[in-house]
Amino acid sequence: MDNMKLTGIQRDVPLMEVSDGNLVLFHPHIPSRAKEYVSGVLDTRWIGQGPLVDKFEEDFSQMFCDGNVSLAVGSGTDALHLAYMLAGIQAGDEVAVPLFTCTATNLPLLYMGAKLKFIDVDTSSLNISIDHLRASVTSKTKAIVVVHYGGYPSDMDAIMSLAQEFGIPVIEDAAQAVGASYKGRPIGSIADFTTFSFQAIKHITTGDGGLLTFKNPELEALGKRLRWFGIDRSSKQLGIWENDIEEIGYKYQMTDISAAMGIAALEEWEDTVQIRRSLLSKYEELITDSDEIKILGRTNPDIVHGAWLCTIRVKRRKDLQEKLWRNKIETNQVHYRNDRYSVFGGRKGGFPNMDAMEHEYLVLPLHTKMTVHDVERVAELINSGW
């Protein structure tokens, strides 16, 4: 590994093994009681969607969503697709979406035949640019999609105000922002719809999974039908077998096996998030902003950071990434501008902020297998130059 030469920052570097003093970029966090709870599920009649899914939905909603309706599903992408359907988005509708995000944010809109209007990034956070959003939303816009990159909340006051002006819903992709808050309000309680991810390396993992929460309780029955083939599952379980199916539904439910892992994660949430925030805080303490390097989305009094990623903007990124790799520290870009992909129509102009950023951002390791000493090691290597 020490002799490996990275031949170009646009090329993905190989995954680093968890061995030999390597500090990997991501590592799953498995709660201490997850195995016990999953094993218990395997002895019951409910290994698919059952009572533990109901419990996980309720507990998660009370912790993070001000008690709003919450539907647990098979993935964060499932949750986004459900959100877009419940928000009334139709084929041909124009939707304002982040240019920079995991492709999962935008792919479900392609399922539906919607028209994507990409919004440039804010160079201080890689969240959407509020100025570009204001300039882009018109009477044709049917919804706004927002991502809280790395766990750092976007400017929700500005976004909600704009959405109210045009009478359109806001859908938050909060896959990276469990536990984050904006001006005292938890992410999951502000927008019309918010989705979360419990994929393998997220704050909370259920192996894979997701959850949709929304404010309008009148959408709950429809959401549950769309999650389960269009069937009214509660009626069917009461023995009403001739109930009609009126909507095209999907197989988007969470299982009790996954919910058991999620419940175990909620029980130790405070310890988990404290580790992540302490590591991010140490990065912010040790890496001083300069012309050469800046930490994106620094914690400030208006927000509580979800602390999923620590991302830096750095000059000569390739040189720094090579140096860290030689010192057994894994880094990467993780996400990319979506217009690099043919499925979204290919590269487009008109995004000066993303153009300026795309060769300068780099994600540093941050996960619960790390210690503050690990952060000190990374910061010392960075501060010594590259």
What are the strands, taking DSSP E only, across 62-177? Answer: 69-73, 94-98, 100-101, 115-119, 141-147, 170-173
Task: Assign 183 a pLDDT band (cuts: 50, 70, 90).
Answer: very high
Task: Assign 237 a pLDDT band (cuts: 50, 70, 90).
Answer: low
What integer is the mean pLDDT of 313-337? Answer: 97
What integer is the mean pLDDT of 45-51? Answer: 96
Please, what's the b/e burial string for 337-376 (b: 16 or more CB within 10 A of its CB; e: otherwise)? Answer: bbbeeeebeeeeeebebbeebbebbbbbbbbbebeeebbe
What integer is the mean pLDDT of 331-356? Answer: 97
Task: Say whether both 227 and 108 belong to one domain.
Answer: yes
Burial class, 106, CB count within 10 angstroms (exposed 0-12 / middle 13-18 / buried 19+): buried
Indicate which CATH number applies to the domain containing 342: 3.90.1150.10
pLDDT at 7 over 50: no
Helix (H) or strand (E) run with residue 161 in it: helix 156-166
pLDDT at 160 over 50: yes
Task: Say whether both 223 and 96 belong to one domain.
Answer: yes
Task: Assign 14 a pLDDT band (cuts: 50, 70, 90).
Answer: confident
Task: Say whether both 259 and 279 belong to one domain.
Answer: no
Q: Which residues pair with 211 in a beta bridge?
A: 72, 196
What integer is the mean pLDDT of 197-202? Answer: 97
- When comparing pLDDT for 376 and 7, which is higher? 376
Task: Say whether both 282 and 171 belong to one domain.
Answer: no
Domain endpoint, select from 250, 267, 284: 267
In a domain, 29, yes or no: no
Three-state secondary-structure class, residue 172: strand
Mean of per-residue pLDDT scores for the chain = 94
pLDDT at 8 over 50: no
- The token pair that represents 101 in the structure block: 């995000």
Task: Say whether both 106 and 173 belong to one domain.
Answer: yes
DSSP 66-82: TT-EEEEES-HHHHHHH
How many CA atoms are closer than 13 Å to the CA of 303, on its beta-carbon side?
Answer: 22
Task: Say whether both 121 and 260 belong to one domain.
Answer: yes
Report angle CA 105, 175, 332 to the nearest 5 degrees: 85
Indicate which CATH number applies to the domain containing 95: 3.40.640.10
Sheet (strand 310-314) strand order: 293-295, 310-314, 361-364
Task: Say whether both 43 and 67 belong to one domain.
Answer: yes
Task: Say whether both 165 and 220 belong to one domain.
Answer: yes
Distance between CA atoms of 326 and 112, rounded to whole angstroms? 45
Report angle CA 10, 14, 9 to the nearest 5 degrees: 20
pLDDT at 356 over 50: yes
In a domain, 113, yes or no: yes
Task: Say whether both 262 and 294 belong to one domain.
Answer: no
Distance between CA atoms of 222 and 247, rounded to whole angstroms? 9
pLDDT at 171: 98
Domain count of the fold of the chain:
2
Domain endpoint, select from 267, 296, 324: 267
What integer is the mean pLDDT of 170-185? Answer: 98
Task: Say whether both 249 and 278 belong to one domain.
Answer: no
Task: Say whether both 187 and 325 belong to one domain.
Answer: no
Q: What is the pTM of this model?
A: 0.94
pLDDT at 233: 78
Domain endpoint, select from 267, 288, 314: 267
Q: Which of 363, 181, 196, 214 is nearest to 265 (CA)?
A: 196
Quick: pLDDT tens for 272-313: 999 999 999 999 999 999 999 999 999 899 999 999 999 999
Quick: pLDDT tens for 216-233: 999 999 999 999 999 987
In a domain, 109, yes or no: yes
Task: Say whether both 260 and 314 belong to one domain.
Answer: no
pLDDT at 71: 98
Quick: pLDDT tens for 117-140: 999 999 999 999 999 999 999 999
198: containing domain: 34-267
Q: Which of 271, 222, 255 is nearest to 52 (CA)?
A: 255
Report the share of the chain in percent with pLDDT over 70: 95
Residue 212 and residue 79 in contact, taking contact as beta carbons nearer than 8 Å: yes
